[in-house]
Chains A and B, each alone.
Chain A
Amino acid sequence: MANKDLLLSLEDLKTHFFSENGLVKAVDGVTFDIERGESVGVVGESGCGKSVTSLSIMQLIRRPRGDIVGGKILFNPEDGSSIDITKLSPGGRQMRSIRGNQISMIFQEPMTSLNPVYTIGNQIMEAVMLHQRSTKKQAKERAVEMLTKVGIPAPLQRVDEYPHQFSGGMRQRAMIAMALSCDPEFLIADEPTTALDVTIEAQILRLMKDIQQDFGVSIMIITHDLGVIAEMAQRVNVMYTGKIVEQAVTDDIYHNAKHPYTQGLLQSIPTIGRKQRLTPIRGSVPNLLTLPSNVCYFAPRCPHAMEICSKQEPPLYEIDEGHTCKCWLYEGSKEVSA
């Protein structure tokens, strides 16, 4: 059996959509591990498959439009069991219990997980009572406490309001309060702060960090914001068109990036105090519907592209211990089987 510190491993996960216009390989062979108590980042631009990866872990991909078509999602909760989530029925008891008790998710779209007909307080209380044997009064206190923690003004009054009475940023914070209120083992945060102002963002990220440190919660944080990842993650997975192209500890991603896409992303963002012209990546993210197969998908935008890049898909190379990169430039390094 694998490493006992391993909480979750994705092994060659493939989640595809069958749209009218053709097949969309939204997640196409993703492999990575999350250790207990670790925070792992997934970063990449719009449409690269970040949300679909997290929805797959939660078994929330709607069939028949989309489905997990390959790979494994091995989940090893603290109780010692080991479960392949891809084998569970999405609506079944075991999956529902995992969703309610062990894995919490903060969704990119707050309205999808808040029910408009119940007060914010009732929704948090429900999550609390589902998980802990607490009285209604205790659950309500917990709801107010969580709303205070995420910076909702006047929480005693707000707890009895409905989602539509909250601003977008407040809804996002209410959802974070709800996700954290049931003490999950594993928290998936999909762009948890994208809609928020920086001062509130700082507050939420601090809260998530505190919770991770105090309760040993593992976190998978998904974002396109390289600043948020730098602050939150211990290890980073860089995604491009449904595949992980580079994986390393956070410091290596920022100071020793190997993949031309990662390098390009870092050069695209402005750095305060350095008023240099930016170096963008040329072109834009390709349409997943029209991707050729067996090539490097980054080749048309890559400043280092070679002949082989548009003829054959590069394997994943191990550059260093714990640092992998899917790029022909590193041919000769040790290949890792995906």
Chain B
Amino acid sequence: MSDMSDSQVILDIRGLKKYFPIKKGIFRTTAGWVRAVDGVDFFIREGETLGVVGESGCGKTTTGRCVIRLLDPTEGTVNFRKDGTMVNLADMTRKQMKEIRREIQIIFQDPFSSLDPRMSVLDIIREPLRVHDIGGRKQHIERVGELLERVGLRAYQMDRYPHEFSGGQRQRIGIARALALDPEVLICDEPVSALDVSVQAQVLNLLSDLQEEFHLTYMFIAHDLSVVEHISDRVMVMYLGKAVEMANSTELYKNPKHPYSEALMMAIPIADPRLQTKREPLGGNVPDPANPPEGCNFNTRCPYVQDICYKEEPPLAETAEGSDHFVACHFAADLSLAGWESRRSTDESA
């Protein structure tokens, strides 16, 4: 185990797969499968933030939804530590899952469509309390007022409707709802992507404060690599339905070990005109998730590809015992890849 073994694993996901059928023709027969998530392994430690990055369509949302069983996994285990023992959420019945949802909640990306416009803020936030038969109206009003104040809104705003709020305020309402049941884990699916940068910073600070105060564990999905580095203790990089790298965030950004992570580091837009080296674009074809390549799934775009990459799929493995740095690349130990800091040096601009 790693040097962080004192903090316990709260979620341990193994071999997670989710395939969606591709329906064709008037009889809607299944013509194939979109392998949205195709064998993902990762874990999250209690009280930490695991950032999840990867290009659009690589399966981030599907992974998050499988964990909380908004989607049923096609295969794999989702172990969650409940009262000291690991339980497999993938096997649970709907009824058993209802209990678990008190402890794992989700915040959605779009603050405009994720709140029912016909419901008042009070009804939106107390909905989970109702579903779980906790308290009556009086307690709900009290709890909702408390939650609103905690996320930076005012208790008197509970009688208002979503359209009366700005994007950042709506995201705060979504956070308040997710917190209503005092969960342990929050899955945040692009919680700040739709927000203006000035407001994005407010919500990121709020999430950090709440984590500290309530000892929350976050799975934080986002495509903005600067935001993910800022908020995460560890980061998982996904590519075409698989986890290709997972490590401490500082380490991953400095010393990526997977060629796709390197490509991401080279592509981060940096808000400083003095740090502009030529961003090295990634070439090659983006494969179709219904028809992923054999061998390593990055082989169509990888600049370091070798014969073996077309034949054998590299497993996600720890680079060294206890390094807490996991990579799925045949040449993880041999390649010397550039991290984001190399963007600072000017000598490499051609």
Contact = CB atoms under 8 A, between A and B. Distances in A.
Given A46-B196, A270-B204, A250 B55 contact: no
B276 A169 contact: no
Contact of B273 (A230, A280, A282, A285): A230
Nearest to B197: A268
Which size bracket describes the interface of A in this complex?
35 or more
Contacts of B273: 230-231, 250-251, 254
B271 A202 contact: no
A115 interface: no
A203 B285 CA distance: 13
Interface in B245-266: 250, 253, 263-264, 266
A337 interface: no
Contacts of A203: 281-282
A67 interface: no
Interface string A180-209: 000000000000000001111111011000
Nearest to A234: B273
Interface string B221-243: 00101110111000000000000
A280 B271 contact: no
A279 B253 CA distance: 23
Interface in B135-189: 166-169
Given A230-B272, A279-B201, A198 B225 contact: yes
Contact of A230 (B197, B202, B264, B269): B269
Q: How large is the interface on B (under 10, 10 to 19, 20 to 34, 35 or more residues)?
A: 35 or more
A273 B56 CA distance: 25
B162 to A, nearest CB: 15
A65 interface: no
B198 A281 contact: yes
B340 interface: yes
A153 interface: yes
B330 interface: no
A52 B162 CA distance: 26
Nearest to B344: A273
B88 interface: no
B281 A264 contact: no
Contacts of A231: 269-270, 273, 276, 279
B91 interface: no
B22 interface: no
A225 interface: yes
A45 B281 contact: no
B196 A264 contact: no
A305 interface: no
Nearest to B268: A198
Highest count of chain B CB atoms <10 Å: which of A153, A169, A270: A270
A6 interface: no
Given A224-B196, A269-B197, A202 B280 contact: yes
A153 B286 contact: yes
Given A199-B263, A202-B280, A277 B205 contact: yes
A21 interface: no
Closest A-B pairs by Cβ, 5 of them: A227-B269, A270-B230, A280-B201, A203-B281, A281-B198
19 contacts: A45-B196, A45-B198, A197-B56, A201-B269, A202-B266, A202-B281, A203-B282, A227-B268, A227-B269, A228-B269, A230-B269, A251-B274, A265-B197, A269-B197, A270-B204, A270-B231, A272-B270, A273-B250, A277-B205
